[in-house]
Amino acid sequence: MIVVMSQDATREQIEAVMRKIEEFGLKTHPIYGVLKTVIGVIGDDKTKVVETMAGYPGVEQIIPILKPYKFASRETHPQDTVIEVAGVRIGGDKVVVMAGPCAVESREQILNTARLVKLAGGSVLRGGAFKPRTSPYSFQGLGEEGLRYLAEARAETGLPVVTELTDPRMIDVFCEYADIIQVGARNMQNFVLLTEIGRSGHPVLLKRGPSSKIEDLLLAAEYIIKEGNRKIILCERGISTFETYTRNTLDLSAVAALKKLSHLPVVVDPSHSVGVASLIPAMSLAAVAAGADGLLVEIHPNPNAALCDGPQSLDFETFSATMSKIRKVARAIGREA
């Protein structure tokens, strides 16, 4: 349920409405818009709100929200959410490209990659310091050393950093080193992790699980929002189907669906979606054409020698050429990149 305050409602009236709702044992989440304030109401029995608050000073309308993801829903927040991270606006007119290696392997590797991302027109540096792998014997990342290398690359290039957090006990460390915390597909329904990220207030990139429905992704986002953190970027990264030629199946319909259902920005990870480097440029262009607010692309100075996900990593030359094409597609649909 949401309580829509009138355009001329005062701050005192808004606070009085929130206090009254909380007296009923319900939680309130105010959303301060440019013209109006909307108060989200969470709790089991909201009948008293309808019965009591309809004529309250400053209250314009009380609207039930039928979708289970109350605050991720566009019903609650009709305008697109734009998240600003270190001067980069995600969800606005510009298609934001986040690029870098699957795993940080060395200081030299991540610094060289960051310079290339900057030169090619990318806006965010990605890189994994902690790598949850299917096999316990695979390269697991450099850990906190990798985070320090990412921070050094950020200091040199000015690119904000996105990297994956797997352990909620390390959230304070990640908030120090990372500008955006990534929740990987395996952890999309790690509700303890989502809750801690919600409490941190730190920007988060939330990936869709390979067997998760669109509603599951939005409900995962709801776990973060209900703790007060609305700085969420949704990520479509492919789903498991019967197809074996590609690593996953890129569900571009999810981009349009998420943009319709939610106000949160949506990016696409073509690298994990298809897992085949030669297909990634075409899928990147298709994602931009479908309305994605950004891309998350894996690149590596020498994909054949990569310690992680080399077959789906673009070399620097291919990435630079793809960036040029991305800009053309973005312009064709009235955006920039």
pLDDT in tens, 206-256: 999 999 999 999 999 999 998 989 999 999 999 999 999 999 999 999 999
Percent of the chain with pLDDT over 90: 74
What 3-state class would DSSP assign to 171? helix
For β-strands 37-42 and 27-32, DSSP reports them as antiparallel
Q: Cβ atoms within 10 A of the Cβ of 202, count?
A: 20
Q: Which residue has the higher pLDDT, 85 or 34?
A: 85
Q: Which two tokens stand for residue 256?
A: 């349009």
The pLDDT assigned to 336 comes to 92
Q: Is-contact 289 92, C-beta < 8 A?
A: no
The pLDDT assigned to 107 comes to 96
Across 39-43, 138-142, 172-176, which has the greatest mean pLDDT?
A: 172-176
Residue 134 confidence (pLDDT) above 80: no
The pLDDT assigned to 64 comes to 81
Residues 6+ away with beta carbon under 8 Å from 228: 29, 198, 199, 201
Q: How confident is the model at residue 141 (pLDDT cuts 50, 70, 90)?
A: confident
Average model confidence (pLDDT) for the chain? Answer: 93
pTM: 0.88
Residue 151 confidence (pLDDT) above 70: yes
Least confident window among 4-13, 63-72, 103-112, 228-237:
63-72
pLDDT in tens, 271-329: 999 999 999 999 999 999 999 999 999 999 999 999 989 999 999 999 999 999 999 99
The pLDDT assigned to 133 comes to 65
Q: Is-contact 236 262, C-beta < 8 A?
A: no
Residues 6+ away with beta carbon under 8 Å from 190: 183
Q: Which residue has the higher pLDDT, 287 or 137?
A: 287
The pLDDT assigned to 137 comes to 62
pLDDT in tens, 73-106: 998 888 899 999 999 999 999 999 999 999 999 9
Domains of the chain: 2-63 (3.30.70.1140), 83-332 (3.20.20.70)
